[in-house]
Protein backbone atom coordinates (compact mmCIF):
# COMPACT_ATOMS: atom_id res chain seq x y z
CA UNK A 1 0.00 0.00 0.00
CA UNK A 2 1.32 3.43 -1.00
CA UNK A 3 0.05 6.13 1.34
CA UNK A 4 0.07 9.63 -0.11
CA UNK A 5 -0.77 13.14 1.08
CA UNK A 6 -2.00 15.99 -1.10
CA UNK A 7 -1.06 19.54 -0.11
CA UNK A 8 -3.76 21.85 -1.42
CA UNK A 9 -7.32 20.95 -2.39
CA UNK A 10 -7.99 23.52 -5.08
CA UNK A 11 -8.56 22.83 -8.76
CA UNK A 12 -5.44 20.70 -9.22
CA UNK A 13 -5.52 18.98 -5.83
CA UNK A 14 -9.13 17.91 -6.23
CA UNK A 15 -8.35 16.86 -9.80
CA UNK A 16 -5.56 14.59 -8.55
CA UNK A 17 -7.83 13.01 -5.93
CA UNK A 18 -10.59 12.48 -8.50
CA UNK A 19 -8.24 10.96 -11.07
CA UNK A 20 -6.77 8.48 -8.59
CA UNK A 21 -10.28 7.51 -7.48
CA UNK A 22 -11.94 7.33 -10.89
CA UNK A 23 -9.03 5.60 -12.66
CA UNK A 24 -7.93 3.53 -9.69
CA UNK A 25 -7.59 0.28 -11.65
CA UNK A 26 -5.37 1.87 -14.28
CA UNK A 27 -3.18 3.64 -11.71
CA UNK A 28 -2.80 0.47 -9.64
CA UNK A 29 -2.02 -1.63 -12.71
CA UNK A 30 0.91 0.50 -13.80
CA UNK A 31 2.00 1.56 -10.32
CA UNK A 32 1.97 -2.03 -9.13
CA UNK A 33 0.46 -1.23 -5.74
CA UNK A 34 -2.67 -0.08 -3.97
CA UNK A 35 -2.92 3.65 -3.29
CA UNK A 36 -4.41 5.36 -0.28
CA UNK A 37 -5.02 9.09 -0.16
CA UNK A 38 -4.41 9.30 3.58
CA UNK A 39 -4.37 13.08 4.05
CA UNK A 40 -5.37 16.23 2.20
CA UNK A 41 -3.95 19.45 3.65
CA UNK A 42 -5.97 22.63 3.29
CA UNK A 43 -6.99 25.60 5.40
CA UNK A 44 -10.63 24.98 4.54
CA UNK A 45 -13.09 22.23 5.39
CA UNK A 46 -14.96 20.42 2.64
CA UNK A 47 -17.98 18.84 4.37
CA UNK A 48 -19.68 17.92 1.09
CA UNK A 49 -16.60 16.33 -0.48
CA UNK A 50 -16.20 12.55 -0.64
CA UNK A 51 -12.70 13.22 0.72
CA UNK A 52 -13.90 15.23 3.74
CA UNK A 53 -12.58 12.63 6.18
CA UNK A 54 -9.03 13.05 4.80
CA UNK A 55 -8.83 16.82 5.35
CA UNK A 56 -6.24 18.02 7.87
CA UNK A 57 -5.11 21.55 8.71
CA UNK A 58 -1.73 20.82 10.29
CA UNK A 59 1.16 19.83 8.02
CA UNK A 60 2.94 18.15 10.94
CA UNK A 61 0.28 15.43 10.96
CA UNK A 62 1.57 14.42 7.53
CA UNK A 63 5.23 14.99 8.31
CA UNK A 64 5.15 12.85 11.45
CA UNK A 65 3.34 9.94 9.81
CA UNK A 66 6.07 7.56 8.65
CA UNK A 67 3.58 5.56 6.60
CA UNK A 68 3.18 8.47 4.14
CA UNK A 69 5.83 7.92 1.47
CA UNK A 70 4.74 10.43 -1.18
CA UNK A 71 3.68 14.06 -0.76
CA UNK A 72 1.95 15.81 -3.66
CA UNK A 73 2.41 19.59 -3.43
CA UNK A 74 -0.15 21.47 -5.53
CA UNK A 75 -0.53 24.60 -3.41
CA UNK A 76 1.10 27.13 -5.71
CA UNK A 77 3.34 30.00 -4.68
CA UNK A 78 6.75 29.81 -3.03
CA UNK A 79 5.70 29.74 0.61
CA UNK A 80 4.84 27.59 2.51
CA UNK A 81 5.38 25.22 -0.43
CA UNK A 82 9.16 25.63 -0.05
CA UNK A 83 9.18 24.81 3.67
CA UNK A 84 6.81 21.85 3.27
CA UNK A 85 8.88 20.43 0.41
CA UNK A 86 12.18 20.71 2.30
CA UNK A 87 10.69 19.08 5.40
CA UNK A 88 9.13 16.25 3.39
CA UNK A 89 12.34 15.44 1.52
CA UNK A 90 14.41 15.51 4.72
CA UNK A 91 11.87 13.13 6.30
CA UNK A 92 12.46 10.63 3.49
CA UNK A 93 9.25 11.30 1.59
CA UNK A 94 9.22 11.67 -2.19
CA UNK A 95 7.63 14.89 -3.44
CA UNK A 96 5.66 15.54 -6.63
CA UNK A 97 4.67 19.07 -7.64
CA UNK A 98 2.87 21.08 -10.29
CA UNK A 99 4.22 24.34 -8.83
CA UNK A 100 6.42 26.01 -11.45
CA UNK A 101 7.20 28.97 -9.19
CA UNK A 102 8.79 26.84 -6.49
CA UNK A 103 10.62 24.60 -9.00
CA UNK A 104 12.03 27.60 -10.89
CA UNK A 105 13.22 29.24 -7.68
CA UNK A 106 14.41 26.27 -5.62
CA UNK A 107 14.59 23.22 -7.90
CA UNK A 108 18.35 22.81 -7.48
CA UNK A 109 18.03 22.65 -3.69
CA UNK A 110 15.12 20.20 -3.81
CA UNK A 111 16.89 17.82 -6.20
CA UNK A 112 20.01 17.86 -4.03
CA UNK A 113 17.95 17.04 -0.94
CA UNK A 114 16.09 14.29 -2.78
CA UNK A 115 19.35 12.65 -3.85
CA UNK A 116 20.82 12.96 -0.35
CA UNK A 117 17.75 11.31 1.17
CA UNK A 118 17.33 8.69 -1.58
CA UNK A 119 13.86 9.82 -2.56
CA UNK A 120 12.37 11.36 -5.70
CA UNK A 121 11.50 14.95 -6.55
CA UNK A 122 9.33 15.02 -9.67
CA UNK A 123 7.81 18.00 -11.43
CA UNK A 124 6.38 16.92 -14.79
CA UNK A 125 3.24 19.01 -14.25
CA UNK A 126 5.18 22.24 -13.67
CA UNK A 127 5.61 22.84 -17.42
CA UNK A 128 3.00 22.20 -20.07
CA UNK A 129 0.27 20.73 -17.87
CA UNK A 130 -0.36 17.23 -19.17
CA UNK A 131 2.27 17.35 -21.93
CA UNK A 132 5.04 14.82 -21.21
CA UNK A 133 8.14 16.94 -21.82
CA UNK A 134 10.20 16.92 -18.62
CA UNK A 135 10.55 13.14 -18.34
CA UNK A 136 11.69 12.78 -21.98
CA UNK A 137 14.24 15.57 -21.49
CA UNK A 138 15.60 13.81 -18.39
CA UNK A 139 15.78 10.37 -19.97
CA UNK A 140 14.90 9.82 -23.63
CA UNK A 141 16.79 12.72 -25.22
CA UNK A 142 19.35 13.59 -22.55
CA UNK A 143 22.12 12.00 -24.65
CA UNK A 144 21.71 14.76 -27.23
CA UNK A 145 23.55 18.05 -27.35
CA UNK A 146 20.66 20.46 -26.92
CA UNK A 147 20.90 23.47 -29.22
CA UNK A 148 17.61 25.12 -28.34
CA UNK A 149 14.40 24.65 -26.39
CA UNK A 150 11.53 26.89 -27.43
CA UNK A 151 7.86 26.75 -26.73
CA UNK A 152 4.41 28.18 -26.34
CA UNK A 153 4.31 27.80 -22.59
CA UNK A 154 1.25 29.78 -21.54
CA UNK A 155 -2.26 28.82 -22.62
CA UNK A 156 -3.84 32.12 -21.60
CA UNK A 157 -1.70 34.24 -23.90
CA UNK A 158 -1.99 31.73 -26.72
CA UNK A 159 -5.78 31.86 -26.42
CA UNK A 160 -5.72 35.68 -26.49
CA UNK A 161 -3.48 35.78 -29.57
CA UNK A 162 -5.62 33.15 -31.30
CA UNK A 163 -8.72 35.28 -30.68
CA UNK A 164 -6.96 38.34 -32.09
CA UNK A 165 -6.08 36.42 -35.27
CA UNK A 166 -9.28 34.44 -35.73
CA UNK A 167 -11.86 37.08 -34.84
CA UNK A 168 -9.94 40.35 -35.15
CA UNK A 169 -10.35 41.13 -31.45
CA UNK A 170 -8.28 43.79 -29.76
CA UNK A 171 -5.97 42.64 -26.97
CA UNK A 172 -8.36 44.09 -24.38
CA UNK A 173 -11.41 42.32 -25.85
CA UNK A 174 -9.59 39.00 -26.17
CA UNK A 175 -8.34 39.25 -22.58
CA UNK A 176 -11.86 39.90 -21.28
CA UNK A 177 -13.14 36.88 -23.20
CA UNK A 178 -10.36 34.74 -21.70
CA UNK A 179 -11.31 35.97 -18.22
CA UNK A 180 -15.01 35.29 -18.84
CA UNK A 181 -14.18 31.73 -19.89
CA UNK A 182 -11.92 31.14 -16.88
CA UNK A 183 -8.70 30.94 -18.92
CA UNK A 184 -7.29 34.14 -17.39
CA UNK A 185 -7.19 35.35 -13.80
CA UNK A 186 -8.82 38.61 -12.74
CA UNK A 187 -5.26 39.88 -12.36
CA UNK A 188 -3.67 38.46 -15.53
CA UNK A 189 -0.22 40.02 -15.12
CA UNK A 190 1.70 36.77 -14.57
CA UNK A 191 0.35 35.49 -17.88
CA UNK A 192 0.23 38.54 -20.15
CA UNK A 193 3.55 40.02 -18.96
CA UNK A 194 5.41 36.76 -19.62
CA UNK A 195 6.21 35.95 -15.97
CA UNK A 196 4.57 32.51 -16.04
CA UNK A 197 6.35 31.59 -19.27
CA UNK A 198 9.66 32.84 -17.81
CA UNK A 199 9.39 30.42 -14.89
CA UNK A 200 8.70 27.55 -17.27
CA UNK A 201 11.56 28.32 -19.67
CA UNK A 202 13.90 28.53 -16.66
CA UNK A 203 12.90 24.96 -15.75
CA UNK A 204 13.31 23.71 -19.33
CA UNK A 205 16.65 25.48 -19.70
CA UNK A 206 17.89 23.77 -16.53
CA UNK A 207 17.05 20.41 -18.11
CA UNK A 208 18.85 21.45 -21.30
CA UNK A 209 21.98 22.90 -19.67
CA UNK A 210 22.09 21.56 -16.11
CA UNK A 211 22.08 25.12 -14.74
CA UNK A 212 19.14 26.71 -12.95
CA UNK A 213 19.21 30.46 -13.48
CA UNK A 214 17.31 33.15 -11.59
CA UNK A 215 13.93 34.02 -13.06
CA UNK A 216 14.72 37.64 -12.26
CA UNK A 217 17.64 37.51 -14.70
CA UNK A 218 15.48 36.34 -17.61
CA UNK A 219 14.33 38.97 -20.12
CA UNK A 220 10.52 38.74 -20.22
CA UNK A 221 8.30 40.69 -22.60
CA UNK A 222 4.59 39.94 -22.70
CA UNK A 223 1.83 40.50 -25.24
CA UNK A 224 0.17 43.67 -23.93
CA UNK A 225 1.65 45.78 -26.74
CA UNK A 226 0.37 43.57 -29.59
CA UNK A 227 -2.12 45.56 -31.71
CA UNK A 228 -4.76 44.64 -34.28
CA UNK A 229 -2.63 46.36 -36.95
CA UNK A 230 0.30 44.07 -36.03
CA UNK A 231 -1.97 41.07 -36.52
CA UNK A 232 -3.05 42.36 -39.95
CA UNK A 233 0.57 42.83 -41.02
CA UNK A 234 1.49 39.37 -39.75
CA UNK A 235 -1.34 37.86 -41.79
CA UNK A 236 -0.11 39.65 -44.93
CA UNK A 237 3.33 38.13 -44.31
CA UNK A 238 1.85 34.65 -43.82
CA UNK A 239 2.88 34.67 -40.16
CA UNK A 240 1.25 34.09 -36.80
CA UNK A 241 2.22 35.79 -33.53
CA UNK A 242 3.05 33.61 -30.53
CA UNK A 243 4.53 34.27 -27.10
CA UNK A 244 7.63 32.07 -26.92
CA UNK A 245 9.95 31.07 -24.15
CA UNK A 246 13.37 30.30 -25.63
CA UNK A 247 16.63 28.86 -24.39
CA UNK A 248 19.19 29.26 -27.17
CA UNK A 249 22.45 27.51 -26.34
CA UNK A 250 25.74 29.04 -27.47
CA UNK A 251 29.36 28.01 -26.98
CA UNK A 252 29.50 29.64 -23.55
CA UNK A 253 26.21 30.84 -22.04
CA UNK A 254 22.60 30.38 -23.17
CA UNK A 255 20.20 33.13 -24.12
CA UNK A 256 17.08 32.61 -21.98
CA UNK A 257 14.13 34.91 -22.60
CA UNK A 258 10.41 35.31 -23.24
CA UNK A 259 9.08 37.42 -26.11
CA UNK A 260 6.34 37.60 -28.74
CA UNK A 261 7.53 36.34 -32.12
CA UNK A 262 6.12 36.40 -35.61
CA UNK A 263 6.35 32.79 -36.77
CA UNK A 264 6.43 31.89 -40.44
CA UNK A 265 3.97 29.26 -41.61
CA UNK A 266 6.67 26.58 -41.85
CA UNK A 267 7.36 26.80 -38.10
CA UNK A 268 6.15 23.75 -36.17
CA UNK A 269 4.80 26.08 -33.48
CA UNK A 270 2.90 28.36 -35.86
CA UNK A 271 -0.30 26.31 -35.89
CA UNK A 272 -0.60 25.80 -32.12
CA UNK A 273 -3.84 27.58 -31.22
CA UNK A 274 -6.17 28.25 -28.32
CA UNK A 275 -5.17 27.12 -24.84
CA UNK A 276 -2.80 24.48 -26.20
CA UNK A 277 0.92 24.49 -25.41
CA UNK A 278 3.85 23.07 -27.34
CA UNK A 279 7.55 22.63 -26.69
CA UNK A 280 10.08 22.15 -29.49
CA UNK A 281 13.51 20.75 -28.66
CA UNK A 282 16.38 21.01 -31.15
CA UNK A 283 19.14 18.52 -30.46
CA UNK A 284 22.19 16.95 -32.06
CA UNK A 285 21.90 14.34 -33.54
CA UNK A 286 18.15 14.17 -32.81
CA UNK A 287 17.05 17.17 -34.87
CA UNK A 288 13.72 18.78 -34.05
CA UNK A 289 11.10 17.10 -31.87
CA UNK A 290 7.87 18.68 -30.58
CA UNK A 291 5.66 17.94 -27.59
CA UNK A 292 2.07 19.21 -27.86
CA UNK A 293 -1.10 19.16 -25.79
CA UNK A 294 -3.29 20.92 -23.26
CA UNK A 295 -1.14 23.12 -21.08
CA UNK A 296 -3.49 23.72 -18.17
CA UNK A 297 -6.69 22.61 -16.47
CA UNK A 298 -7.44 20.17 -13.69
CA UNK A 299 -7.51 17.08 -15.89
CA UNK A 300 -4.32 17.71 -17.84
CA UNK A 301 -2.29 18.78 -14.81
CA UNK A 302 -3.61 15.95 -12.64
CA UNK A 303 -2.66 13.49 -15.38
CA UNK A 304 0.98 14.62 -15.20
CA UNK A 305 1.01 14.53 -11.38
CA UNK A 306 -0.42 11.02 -11.23
CA UNK A 307 1.97 9.94 -13.97
CA UNK A 308 4.85 10.95 -11.71
CA UNK A 309 3.20 9.09 -8.83
CA UNK A 310 2.95 5.88 -10.85
CA UNK A 311 6.64 6.12 -11.79
CA UNK A 312 7.60 6.35 -8.11
CA UNK A 313 5.26 3.50 -7.16
CA UNK A 314 6.65 1.24 -9.87
CA UNK A 315 10.34 2.06 -9.78
CA UNK A 316 10.91 3.53 -6.32
CA UNK A 317 13.27 6.44 -5.78
CA UNK A 318 14.35 7.22 -9.32
CA UNK A 319 17.68 8.99 -9.85
CA UNK A 320 17.00 12.71 -9.93
CA UNK A 321 18.63 15.16 -12.34
CA UNK A 322 21.19 17.54 -10.86
CA UNK A 323 20.83 21.29 -11.29
CA UNK A 324 23.56 23.73 -10.32
CA UNK A 325 22.61 27.29 -9.43
CA UNK A 326 23.90 29.77 -11.98
CA UNK A 327 23.60 33.43 -12.93
CA UNK A 328 25.27 32.66 -16.24
CA UNK A 329 22.89 33.93 -18.93
CA UNK A 330 24.13 35.51 -22.14
CA UNK A 331 23.43 39.23 -22.36
CA UNK A 332 20.15 39.57 -24.24
CA UNK A 333 21.34 42.83 -25.81
CA UNK A 334 23.61 40.70 -28.03
CA UNK A 335 20.79 38.46 -29.33
CA UNK A 336 20.27 38.74 -33.08
CA UNK A 337 17.14 38.14 -35.13
CA UNK A 338 15.03 39.60 -37.90
CA UNK A 339 12.25 41.87 -36.72
CA UNK A 340 9.12 43.69 -37.76
CA UNK A 341 8.87 47.43 -37.18
CA UNK A 342 5.96 49.84 -37.50
CA UNK A 343 6.53 53.61 -37.43
CA UNK A 344 4.42 56.70 -38.11
CA UNK A 345 3.08 56.96 -41.66
CA UNK A 346 5.03 59.21 -44.02
CA UNK A 347 8.46 58.44 -42.61
CA UNK A 348 9.70 56.17 -45.40
CA UNK A 349 12.63 58.36 -46.44
CA UNK A 350 13.86 58.85 -42.89
CA UNK A 351 13.52 55.13 -42.18
CA UNK A 352 15.56 54.29 -45.29
CA UNK A 353 18.30 56.67 -44.13
CA UNK A 354 18.64 54.79 -40.82
CA UNK A 355 17.83 51.20 -41.82
CA UNK A 356 18.95 51.22 -45.44
CA UNK A 357 16.75 49.83 -48.18
CA UNK A 358 13.77 47.91 -46.78
CA UNK A 359 10.60 46.50 -48.32
CA UNK A 360 7.56 48.19 -46.80
CA UNK A 361 4.43 46.18 -46.06
CA UNK A 362 1.18 47.49 -47.52
CA UNK A 363 -0.25 49.08 -44.40
CA UNK A 364 -1.68 52.28 -42.91
CA UNK A 365 1.68 52.66 -41.11
CA UNK A 366 5.32 52.52 -42.16
CA UNK A 367 5.72 48.79 -41.48
CA UNK A 368 8.60 46.64 -42.73
CA UNK A 369 10.84 43.68 -41.95
CA UNK A 370 14.41 44.53 -40.97
CA UNK A 371 17.27 42.06 -41.51
CA UNK A 372 18.90 40.24 -38.63
CA UNK A 373 20.42 42.61 -36.08
CA UNK A 374 21.22 42.65 -32.38
CA UNK A 375 18.96 44.08 -29.70
CA UNK A 376 21.48 46.88 -29.19
CA UNK A 377 21.55 47.74 -32.89
CA UNK A 378 17.75 47.74 -33.13
CA UNK A 379 17.46 49.99 -30.09
CA UNK A 380 20.01 52.48 -31.45
CA UNK A 381 18.20 52.76 -34.79
CA UNK A 382 14.86 53.32 -33.08
CA UNK A 383 16.46 56.02 -30.92
CA UNK A 384 17.98 57.67 -34.00
CA UNK A 385 14.55 57.89 -35.63
CA UNK A 386 12.95 59.12 -32.42
CA UNK A 387 15.53 61.93 -32.29
CA UNK A 388 14.26 63.24 -35.63
CA UNK A 389 10.59 62.94 -34.70
CA UNK A 390 9.69 59.49 -36.05
CA UNK A 391 7.64 57.55 -33.50
CA UNK A 392 7.94 53.78 -33.06
CA UNK A 393 4.50 52.18 -32.97
CA UNK A 394 5.46 48.53 -32.64
CA UNK A 395 8.25 46.02 -33.04
CA UNK A 396 8.09 42.22 -32.94
CA UNK A 397 10.92 39.72 -33.32
CA UNK A 398 10.72 37.13 -36.10
CA UNK A 399 11.64 33.45 -36.01
**Active site members:** 200
CA distances from 213 to 106, 204, 256, 266 (A): 10, 11, 9, 31
- Please tell me the distance from the alpha carbon of residue 134 to that of residue 124, in angstroms, as a whole number: 5
Length of the chain counted residue by residue: 399
Task: Identify whether the C-beta of residue 40 lies closer than 8 Å to the C-beta of residue 72.
Answer: no
Which residues on neighbouring strands pair with residue 278, listed in sequence order? Answer: 152, 292
- Please tell me the distance from the alpha carbon of residue 226 to that of residue 396, in angstroms, as a whole number: 9
End-to-end CA gap in the chain? 51
Task: Provide the phi-psi class of 316: left if phi over 0, else alpha when psi is between -120 and 50, else beta.
Answer: left
- Please tell me the distance from the alpha carbon of residue 70 to that of residue 3, in angstroms, as a whole number: 7
DSSP 261-284: EEEETTSTTTT--TTEEEEEEEEE
Cβ within 8 Å of residue 77, ≥6 positions away: 99, 101, 102
Task: Identify whether the C-beta of residue 397 lies closer than 8 Å to the C-beta of residue 244.
Answer: no
Amino acid sequence: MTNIAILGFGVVGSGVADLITNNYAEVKKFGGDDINIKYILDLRDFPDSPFSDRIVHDFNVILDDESVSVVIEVMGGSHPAYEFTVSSLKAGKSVITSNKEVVANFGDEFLKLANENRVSYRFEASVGGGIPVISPMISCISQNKIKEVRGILNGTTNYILTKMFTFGDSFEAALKDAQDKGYAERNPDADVLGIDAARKIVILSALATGSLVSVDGVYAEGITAIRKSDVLCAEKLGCSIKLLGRCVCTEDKPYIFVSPFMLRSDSALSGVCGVYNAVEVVGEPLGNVMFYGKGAGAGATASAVVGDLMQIMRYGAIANPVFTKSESVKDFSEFECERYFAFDIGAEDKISEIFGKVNFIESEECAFIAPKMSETCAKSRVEALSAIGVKLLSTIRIL
